[in-house]
Structure 1
Amino acid sequence: MRSIFVKLVPVAFAVIASSAWAHGDVKCTDQPKAKWRPHTELQEKLTKEGWQIRRMEQTTSCYEVYAKDPKGKRVEAFFNPVTFERVEE
């Protein structure tokens, strides 16, 4: 039993690590940060559309939003910080 556990632990860590970094390649814009609109504008826009924002983060090229969408579904969404268009992974 112990030998199975020892073999499965590295596999479990690999799966967890790969899913945690799965969105690392999302590219939203090539525009310099000086052209980015404030994240508070995006938050206001989404709130007016019915989103319930839990947390927002800034990646190297996106605004990453953790929220419930207008349908009540929990989502992790990426937005272009210049246009505020949603970017699919």
Structure 2
Amino acid sequence: MTDEYWSLDIPGLDEDGANRLLAVAETFDSVEAASVIDPTLFYSMHLSREAVVIVVRLLRASLSDASLTNDDTYLATNLREELTEWLEQIAFDE
């Protein structure tokens, strides 16, 4: 299996079509796990490396905000760590 993580962005695709594409993808030897992401439950977007750097900086700065709840701090910290890990991984791969 590869460590790469590719995705598809197909505007207008409905749930049935997504599930049908998933079934095809799962026939590939390199695909160990795949999933359909429900757009009513998750917001997915593709950010450039530069945008991720800015988001990490903003998250780092916002974590000192005393008005954040514990849940807000937890979620922001996890997102910052996830994005930082991605930045480190792509730098390592270069």
TM-score bin, normalised by smaller chain: under 0.3
Structure with the largest fraction of strand: 1
TM-score by length of 2: 0.25
Higher helix content, 1 or 2: 2
Which structure is richer in relative contact order (CA contacts within 8 A, separation 6 or more)? Answer: 1
